[in-house]
Amino acid sequence: MKIWSIVLVFLAGCYMPAARDDFSGLGSDQFSNLIREAYSDKVIEGRNSVGIDRIDKVKANAIAQRLMLGKRSNEIGPLFNREGGHCLPVVTNLDRQVMTCEVRRAWKLKNIGAEFPTENWSDPAVKMHFRLGVRKGDSVVDTVALEIIDITQYKRTGEK
> CB–CB of 72/148 below 8 Å?
no
Whether the CB-CB separation of 118 and 145 falls below 8 Å is answered with: no
What is the rounded distance in angstroms from the CA atom of residue 67 to the CA atom of residue 71? 8
Closest CA to 71 of 99, 31, 94: 99
pTM of the model: 0.77
**What's the start-to-end Cα distance of the chain, in Å?**
42
List of residues 6+ apart from 151 with CB closer than 8 A? 104, 125, 126, 127
**pLDDT tens, residue by residue, 82-121:** 999 999 988 886 677 889 999 999 888 776 667 776 677 7
- Measured in degrees and rounded to the nearest 5, phi and psi for residue 125 equal -145, 145
pLDDT surpassing 90 at residue 73: no
C-beta separation of 77 from 153 below 8 A? no
Q: How far apart are CA 86 and CA 137, in angstroms?
A: 23
6 φ/ψ angles, rounded to the nearest 5 degrees? -65, -45
pLDDT at 129 over 90: yes
Q: Which of 27, 34, 85 is nearest to 60 (CA)?
A: 34
Residue 141 banded pLDDT, cuts 50, 70, 90:
confident
